[in-house]
């Protein structure tokens, strides 16, 4: 074993920092009485170095000649006193909370537990060194070449929510050795699909290092989605094609560089609300053994237990400055060193929760908004958790956008023919000003979606009334029961041409509504190709063909339709306004209007009509109350969008109150005859369909 020279080093930065000649190690623990740095040789031999320096509860040392690829961990000696909230266990090799790479996969078993059967408060000295993953020293140097962040304004975003592995695992044009990896997503075949589709932002399901749950492994399943984080700085090693001794970091950076070169931004779905260590019966992997009471929120009158607003067993202690620092350091690292463009915060309410409401003045929000790095990137909240008053849509402060679950519910309900939905739909189509306008936010605060990873795919939404989650091994107890889905007349697979035609139209209706609404649209990866999960609406554990994209079975017609929709949105600022509608004349005419099938405007009685299944939306391209990036007045074509969720065809009289216009069918979700129509003309809008008409009135040569 190599005898190491050890220097005092520095308390900051925390983690393992290579400077070209050696590595500085620093670990925070307020409760520790002694800390051992453990270095591992390639043969598994462990060398322990006691950290003798401590400043502000940071234990540190500098070890010359130690460089990238070195595996390491910590053993923390301190009190084992669960009643007081302390769970130090030097028998456990602990991951560095600041590890930038992690090697290996946790082998489930009793070695990771600090207690034995029969007494959860009694420490059982079992060493886990042979089964625990190891932290890895990484090389911070990377050639970004001429990479440039797209830095696109939010109102121009079209988000594509994807899973790194699932998106690439079965792609025939990606070499087998790259499928399911960061390099696979950077491959020209993957990038070309994104560019051709027209999306300009990818939101990646969790890529922070996560742990596979033991109970899933017992059933032959895995944690596919990755919402079980253990390393907030480390890209998940199983998505690396090059190995996990730090190569995953380089490969991730290369992926970001490739996407930026294609003018595509990268947003990470991040899980800072809890860790993979679970409740008091969970494994000791990192935070629990380093300083349990500092990192986790404990029940005040029973510090053996964790205060859980996530449903995962624990919640991070946002009241502790070190935990806040950990999160902020992690966010800054992903922006400055990994060049990502923003974050979607899983269960974001937990991060800012005081009592039962989201506290807009919480330390978390204060730090975010004051930080010169993080405040400049895109911030998206998932506005719910399982705590009291858990649903918090509309309650986040300025600078934040939110997943708008109310948009999802309204659009689903309208297209499946639920009564009394037109008023709610109108609010959602126009940016949900009722949720966001009061605090000076704009339509971009609303991240609109119809489907997401945690539910039915678009095809399954129109193919199943009930969830079919048998493959998850939970007897159908998991997943959402109230999906607002409609199978169009048959459950699951069918050869009935009428049912298939209905499903095809409904998919187009939902996609068209999404991409033509004000706000920021988010498309679930694969929805543009008719991807199915066989009715599974909770495929969190399905790392297999259930969740992976089947590129060979893609619906080419639906893909072409989606591309056309995205292009229509991109070409016309009418559909992506920065400001809310005013509902009053702008430049002499209204900016938005609503009409009934007879062509007359909607009134209060019409909005309250439970029987209404149709709605017309007038979007005035000459009434955009905004300027472009160069300060020029924005003027666009005007549009008339006719939505018919009724089960029969409806004859529309084209409105006259918004000027003498010639309307031409620009897009329809079902075949629609007679493309050109003047005001007062009649147009048959087929059952369960959407028609977009564009104003093609010739310019007046005298004007």
Supply the pTM of this predicted model: 0.96
Neighbouring residues of 264: CB distance < 8 A, sequence distance ≥ 6: 150, 191, 194, 195, 199, 200, 201, 202
Per-residue pLDDT, averaged over 656-683, amounts to: 84
| CA–CA distance, 393 with 405 (Å, rounded to integer) | 8
Identify any residues that bridge with 357 across adjacent strands, giving them in sequence order: 354
Establish whether 346 is a catalytic residue. yes
| Active-site residue flag, 33 | no
Q: Return the structure tokens found at 589.
A: 């005419």
Cross-strand partners of 75: 36
Give the Cβ contact number of residue 173 at 10 Å.
11
- Under a CB-based contact definition with an 8 Å cutoff, are residues 435 and 441 in contact? no
Find the mean pLDDT for residues 360-374: 83
The DSSP line for 457-512 is: -HHHHTT-SS---GGGSSTT-SS-S------TTSSSS---HHHHHHHHHHHHHHHH
Q: Give the pLDDT band of residue 361 (cuts 50, 70, 90).
A: very low
* pLDDT tens column, 186-238: 999 999 999 999 999 999 999 999 999 988 999 999 999 999 999 999 999 99
pLDDT, tens digit, 9 for 90 and up, residues 553-604? 999 999 999 999 999 999 999 999 999 887 665 455 688 999 999 999 999 8
Beta-carbon contacts of residue 145 (< 8 Å; ≥ 6 apart): 257
Helices within 316-472 (DSSP H only): 321-336, 348-351, 363-370, 405-415, 422-429, 433-436, 458-461
Of the listed ranges 159-173, 184-198, 369-383, 450-464, the least confidently predicted one is: 369-383
Q: Over the chain, what is the mean pLDDT?
A: 93
Q: Which of 204, 182, 185 is nearest to 248 (CA)?
A: 182
pLDDT the model gives residue 398:
86
Half-sphere exposure of 261 (CA within 13 A, CB side): 15
- DSSP calls for 248-272: HHHHHHHHHHHHHHTT-EEEEEE--
The residue among 13, 18, 12, 128 whose CA lies nearest residue 73 is 128
Determine what percent of the chain is predicted with pLDDT higher than 90: 81
In this structure, the number of other CB atoms found within 10 A of the CB of residue 55 comes to: 13
Contact 310, 386 (CB under 8 A): yes
Main-chain phi, psi angles of 175, to 5 degrees:
-55, 145
Q: Give percent of the chain above pLDDT 70.
A: 95
pLDDT of residue 703: 47
Which pair of structure tokens corresponds to residue 547? 């969740």
CA 282 to chain centroid, in Å, comes to: 26
List, for residues 614-669, the tens digit of each pLDDT value: 999 999 998 887 888 888 888 999 999 999 999 999 999 999 999 889 999 999 99
Q: Which has the minimum average pLDDT: 305-309, 378-382, 447-451, 670-674? A: 670-674
232 close to 224: Cβ distance less than 8 angstroms: no
Query: 54-58, 426-430, 533-537, 695-699 — which is least confidently predicted?
Result: 695-699
Cα 541 from Cα 386, distance rounded (Å): 20
pLDDT at 388 over 60: no
* Active-site annotation holder among 382, 413, 527, 636: 382
Reply yes or no on whether the pLDDT at 108 is more than 80: no
pLDDT digits (tens, 9 = 90+) for 447-459: 999 999 999 999 9
Q: Which of 203, 346, 385, 413 is catalytic?
A: 346
Nearest to 338 by CA among 262, 255, 263: 255
């Amino acid at each position: 074993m190599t005898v190491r020279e050890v220097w005092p080093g520095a308390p900051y930065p925390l983690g393992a920092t290579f400077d070209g000649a050696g590595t500085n190690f620093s670990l925070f623990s307020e409760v520790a009485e002694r800390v051992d740095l453990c270095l591992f040789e390639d043969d598994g031999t462990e060398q322990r170095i006691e950290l003798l320096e401590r400043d502000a509860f940071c234990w540190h040392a500098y070890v010359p000649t130690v460089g990238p690829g070195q595996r390491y961990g910590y053993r923390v000696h301190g009190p084992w006193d669960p009643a007081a909230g302390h769970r130090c266990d030097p028998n456990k090799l602990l991951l560095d909370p600041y590890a930038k790479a992690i090697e290996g996969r946790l082998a489930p078993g009793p070695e990771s537990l600090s207690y034995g059967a029969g007494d959860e408060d009694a420490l059982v000295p079992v060493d886990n060194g042979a089964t625990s993953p190891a932290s890895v020293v990484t090389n911070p140097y990377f050639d970004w070449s001429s990479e440039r962040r797209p830095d696109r304004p939010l109102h121009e975003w079209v988000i594509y929510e994807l899973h790194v592995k699932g998106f690439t695992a079965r792609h025939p044009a990606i070499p087998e050795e790259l499928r399911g990896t960061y390099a696979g997503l950077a491959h020209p075949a993957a990038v070309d699909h994104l560019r051709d589709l027209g999306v300009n932002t990818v939101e990646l399901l969790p890529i922070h290092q996560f742990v596979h749950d033991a109970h899933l492994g017992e059933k032959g399943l895995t944690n596919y989605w990755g919402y079980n984080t253990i390393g907030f700085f480390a890209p998940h090693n199983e998505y690396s094609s090059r190995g996990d001794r730090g190569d995953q970091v380089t490969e991730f950076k290369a992926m970001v560089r490739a996407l930026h070169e294609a003018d595509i931004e990268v947003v990470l779905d991040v899980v800072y609300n809890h860790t993979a260590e679970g409740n008091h019966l969970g494994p000791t992997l990192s935070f629990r053994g380093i300083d349990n009471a500092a990192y986790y929120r404990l029940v005040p009158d029973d510090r053996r237990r964790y205060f859980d607003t996530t449903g995962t067993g624990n919640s991070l202690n946002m009241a502790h400055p070190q935990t806040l620092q950990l999160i902020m350091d992690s966010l800054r690292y992903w922006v400055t060193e990994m060049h990502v463009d923003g974050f979607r915060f899983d269960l974001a309410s937990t991060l800012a929760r005081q009592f039962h409401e989201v506290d807009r003045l919480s330390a978390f929000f204060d730090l975010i908004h004051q930080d010169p790095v993080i405040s400049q990137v895109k911030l998206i909240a998932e506005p719910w958790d399982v705590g009291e008053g858990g649903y918090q849509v509309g309650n986040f402060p300025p600078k934040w956008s939110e997943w708008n679950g109310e948009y999802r519910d309204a659009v689903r309900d309208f297209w499946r023919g639920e009564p009394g939905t037109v008023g709610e739909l109108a609010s959602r189509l126009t940016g949900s000003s009722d949720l966001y306008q009061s605090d000076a936010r704009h339509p971009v605060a609303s991240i609109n979606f119809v489907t997401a990873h945690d539910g039915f795919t678009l095809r399954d939404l129109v193919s199943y009334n009930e969830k079919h989650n048998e493959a998850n091994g939970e007897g159908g107890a998991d997943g959402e029961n109230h999906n607002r889905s409609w199978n169009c007349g048959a459950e699951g697979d069918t050869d009935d041409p009428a049912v298939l035609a209905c499903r095809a139209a409904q998919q187009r209706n939902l996609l068209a509504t999404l991409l033509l609404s004000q706000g920021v649209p988010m498309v679930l990866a694969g929805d543009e190709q008719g991807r199915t999960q066989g009715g599974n609406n909770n495929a969190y554990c399905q790392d297999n063909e259930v969740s992976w994209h089947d590129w060979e079975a893609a619906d080419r017609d639906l893909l072409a339709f989606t591309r056309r929709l995205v292009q229509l949105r991109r070409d016309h600022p009418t559909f992506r306004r920065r400001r809310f509608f005013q509902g009053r004349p702008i430049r002499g005419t209204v900016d938005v209007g609503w009409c009934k099938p007879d062509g007359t405007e909607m009134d209060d009685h019409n909005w309250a009509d439970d029987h209404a299944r149709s709605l017309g939306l007038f979007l005035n391209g000459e009434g955009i109350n905004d300027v472009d990036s160069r300060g020029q007045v924005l003027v666009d074509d005007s549009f008339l969008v006719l939505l018919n969720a009724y089960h029969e065809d409806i004859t529309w009289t084209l409105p006259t109150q918004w000027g003498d216009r010639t309307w031409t069918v620009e897009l329809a979700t079902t075949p629609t005859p007679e493309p050109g129509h003047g005001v007062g003309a009649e147009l048959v809008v087929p059952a369960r369909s959407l028609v977009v008409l564009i104003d093609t009135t010739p310019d007046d040569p005298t004007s």
